[in-house]
Amino acid sequence: MEKRISFRNIDFIKIPIRYIPLQSLFDILYNVISGLMPAYQAVVLANFIDCAMNIFNGKGNPSDIVLPIVLIVVYIIFMNLMPSIANMIRLTGNNKMTLELKQLILNKKAALEYKHIENTETQDLINRACFNPEGNFLRGFNNILTAARIIISSTFLIIIIMSSSFVNGIIILAMSIPLYVLVFRTGKMNYEMGKESKKIKSRYGYLAGVLIGREYGNERKLFGYSGSLQKNL
């Protein structure tokens, strides 16, 4: 009996790094920095306001405002420029990974034994796994990075809040945990529903091919249901 490979969450990171290492490492770094940006923005704006108030009250030098302004400009440039650069790098990575994975999957499908071609359960699994495989891996990779970015962003914002008001930080943390649990459970339910819907799509896709596909013309004529099909069209 052949061993079925089960992918874990870590595989959605390992596989993109294996096939598109530079783009994947850039994406990881970009998401980490993006996770730090909300905290960075809060600190920079607070520093700018404090510096402006000190200058306004005659307690500071006007030249002290230069550094806070530069830090704000850095934030604006990053938030407006980096998404476009990241999208271009992801596009090149997507194209490269598509070529690599499709070639690998074609070789695997060509080496399948005949018993798998006639097995409905195996065919459902193959159709689900082989439909846009690079998109599935990249979505998994991006979902993990998005979750990490949200955790980083939330953690540092809570630390900033706790530094000024410990009680408010604890309240926000206590409210956030149930939301994270709810999001996790909702995502799991959506995955199960999507898995079932893909099984149905693969079945009606196969039936549609049998009913109207050119390669099944002889079968329709042999079993005599092409006439019934034409009447119902």
Dump the DSSP string for 149-213: HHHHHHHHHHHHHHHH-HHHHHHHHHHHHHHHHHHHHHHHHHHHHHHHHHHHHHHHHHHHHHHH-
Q: Is residue 4 part of a domain?
A: no
pLDDT tens digits, residue range 174-224? 887 787 788 778 877 876 777 677 667 766 776 676 677 676 667 666 666
What is the residue range of 127's domain? Answer: 11-232
Q: Is residue 158 part of a domain?
A: yes
Q: Is residue 6 part of a domain?
A: no
Q: List, in order, residues 6 or more apart from 117 with CB less than 8 Å away.
A: 123
Q: Is residue 5 part of a domain?
A: no
Q: Is residue 1 part of a domain?
A: no
The model's confidence at residue 137, banded by pLDDT at 50, 70 and 90, is confident
Per the structure, the count of domains in the chain is 1
Q: Is the pTM of this model over 0.95?
A: no
Q: Is residue 40 part of a domain?
A: yes
Q: Is residue 133 part of a domain?
A: yes
Q: Is residue 50 part of a domain?
A: yes
Considering only residues 116 and 64, tell me which one the structure prediction assigns the higher pLDDT.
64
